[in-house]
Amino acid sequence: MPFAIEPRRIAIALVALAATAILVWFGAGLFPTWPLMWFAPLPVLLFAARSSWWAAGLTAFLAWAAGSLSFWHYYTAALHLPLAFRIEILAVPALVFALAVLLYRALLRRSAPWSALVAFPAVWVSFEYIFNLTSPHGTAASLSYTQLKFLPFLQLASITGPWAISFLLLAFSSALAIGLQLRAAQPRQAMRIVAATFAILVAVLVFGAVRLALPPPPGHVVRVGLVASDLPVYSHMAAPGAETEGELKEYAARAESLAVRGAQVIVLPENLGEVVDPNTAGTDQIFQPLAGGTKTTIVVGIAHDSTQFKHNEARVYPQKAQVLTYAKHHLLPPFESIFTPGTTLTTLTRPNGTWGVAICKDMDFTPLSRQYGQAGVGLMLVPAWDFTVDRLFHGHMAIMRGVESGFAMARAARGGYLTVSDNRGRIVAETRSDSAPFAMLIANVPAMHDRTLYLLLGDWFAWLTLAVLLLTLVRLAMLTLRQTR
């Protein structure tokens, strides 16, 4: 009999592993299909409840690692990460997922289903938050980004930031697994757990639907123009001097055509060229008269090299005003190790609202966006440069910052998208940067600042999650001690 049972258990483990891996691959990859992530952990959770701890942990680890292999080409071909780093990036989240499954299993098998329900998402969200605090990649590990197209659910970010989105996403699978596990022996308990989870989700979706249905206040509409080119000649940062000057003049010609079409503000990509002091005047002479003559504001991304620092910089040319600058705060290692990070905000006060400036990876971090939100910014202007393959995965992260901190966004990326989104996360207009030799986009977007609860309370839900995790660990310790007496 043991020999007959063992192959069957192995087969069940392989089915659970494959099902979760496939759902993670397509649900949380570079081009995520958002409904799949709601069910991705379910096969492994169902298997874990009826298996040994080592089989559950191993299956969970391998399932998550296999599903995350969808990023392997990105890590290799785009980021050029060493093999050891690639393995670490795959192994650490897989280990966290396995620990979450094991804690869920331990509590469920000790007749603590409510603790199991919240313990599973609490482990993962605690990891997301700690990663956000300690990593140069900020919120990049968050599963919340898989739900960017699920707009009613996305509105939860205006209250909790990304953290409750990940929590409820995983709690859904946890509730279903517990309901299926207890349906025969404890049907009422199973129904209560599933019903409570679904009730919370329904309340969240109703809130989101109502928030989306509210019309924006009148006025504060800005006509935004974006331009970017993926032509091979412009696929790198131009060298100082004639090469940079030539590229900037090409972009200036396109910016002028957008101004003729009524653009009030025009955003160009990040790091178009390098300007070495004292030659910034040459760049300014291209764009400052253009901004004044066309009555527009133009944002240009360059590398600015002075005797004291080298910044990844956005130079802002307002009409009839002096040039403003913004230095990128969050730099991508190792590609941007030559730059000194910035420390200040740059805002512009306009009759139709306050505008802010950030650059590309800055929008992966919640604190900087909250600072802009607290300054009353209604529109963020974001030069950017993506890796083409991550145009959706990374390019759309900035959309959530607008929902959290109450601003619209205009993001112009080489190797990505030209994107205009509102403060509800709706994409107002978008086109690929390789859709034309010089891709251009013009759109009207409401730029009224929205005061959100997340702006007021910050990462309160992340701290609550850490407390929940601690309580579930204490609960497990008490139950284990009780069983050993």
Q: Which has more confidence, 408 or 308?
A: 408
Average pLDDT over the chain, rounded to an integer: 95
Dihedral of CA 13/50/97/58: which sign?
A: negative
Q: What is the pLDDT of residues 84-123, one digit of tens each?
A: 999 999 999 999 999 999 999 999 999 999 999 999 999 9
- Residue 428 carries which DSSP code? E
Q: How far, in Å, CA of 412 to CA of 228, rounded?
A: 7
What is the structure's pLDDT at 122?
A: 98
Asked if pLDDT for residue 319 goes beyond 90, the answer is no
What is the domain partition of the chain in residue ranges?
A: 2-214+459-484, 221-447
What is the structure's pLDDT at 1?
A: 41
Contact by Cβ (8 Å): 293, 320: no
Asked if pLDDT for residue 5 goes beyond 70, the answer is no
Q: What is the DSSP string of 163-201?
A: HHHHHHHHHHHHHHHHHHHHTTT-HHHHHHHHHHHHHHH
Asked if pLDDT for residue 419 goes beyond 80, the answer is yes
Contact by Cβ (8 Å): 265, 408: no
Tell how far CA 62 is from the center of its chain: 25
Closest residue by Cα to residue 266 from 252, 286, 279, 248: 252
Q: What is the CATH number of domain 221-447?
A: 3.60.110.10
Closest residue by Cα to residue 227 from 272, 273, 167: 272
Q: What is the pLDDT of residues 70-87, one digit of tens each?
A: 999 999 999 999 999 999
Asked if pLDDT for residue 3 goes beyond 50, the answer is no
Question: CB within 8 A of 75, min separation 6: which ones?
Answer: 81, 85, 86, 89
What is the structure's pLDDT at 480?
A: 93
Share of the chain above pLDDT 90, in %: 92
Contact by Cβ (8 Å): 353, 222: yes
pTM of structure: 0.95
Asked if pLDDT for residue 307 goes beyond 70, the answer is yes
CA distances from 56 to 9, 48, 98, 353, 441 (A): 11, 5, 8, 54, 50
- Residue 140 carries which DSSP code? G
What is the structure's pLDDT at 220?
A: 86
3-class secondary structure, 319: coil
Closest residue by Cα to residue 266 from 320, 223, 226, 316: 226
Give 292: exposed, middle or buried? Use CB within 10 Å, 0-12, 13-18, 19+.
middle
pLDDT band at 245 (very low <50, low <70, confident <90, very high): very high
Q: How far, in Å, CA of 286 to CA of 250, rounded?
A: 10
Q: How far, in Å, CA of 130 to CA of 80, rounded?
A: 25
Q: What is the pLDDT of residues 16-58, one digit of tens each?
A: 999 999 999 999 999 999 999 999 999 999 999 999 999 999 9
What is the structure's pLDDT at 389?
A: 95
Helices (H) and strands (E) in the chain, counts: 17, 13
- CB pairs under 8 A, 24+ apart, for 192-200? 193/113, 193/114, 193/117, 197/117, 197/171, 197/172, 200/168
Closest residue by Cα to residue 195 from 170, 178, 207: 178
What is the structure's pLDDT at 352?
A: 85
What is the structure's pLDDT at 277?
A: 86
What is the structure's pLDDT at 2?
A: 44
Contact by Cβ (8 Å): 184, 432: no
Q: How far, in Å, CA of 303 to CA of 348, rounded?
A: 21
Asked if pLDDT for residue 483 goes beyond 90, the answer is no
Q: Which has more confidence, 273 or 308?
A: 273
Q: What is the pLDDT of residues 158-186, one digit of tens each?
A: 999 999 999 999 999 999 999 999 999 99
Q: How far, in Å, CA of 320 to CA of 285, rounded?
A: 13
What is the CB-side half-sphere exposure of residue 217 using CA atoms within 13 A? 8
Q: What is the pLDDT of residues 346-395, one digit of tens each?
A: 999 998 889 999 999 999 999 999 999 999 999 999 999 999 999 999 99
- Residue 450 carries which DSSP code? -
Closest residue by Cα to residue 402 from 415, 417, 385, 419: 419
pLDDT band at 248 (very low <50, low <70, confident <90, very high): very high
Give the DSSP H or E segment for 36. Answer: helix 34-37
What is the structure's pLDDT at 175?
A: 98
What is the structure's pLDDT at 321?
A: 82
221-228 and 417-421: which strand pairing? Answer: unpaired
Question: Average pLDDT of 195-208?
Answer: 98
pLDDT band at 4 (very low <50, low <70, confident <90, very high): very low
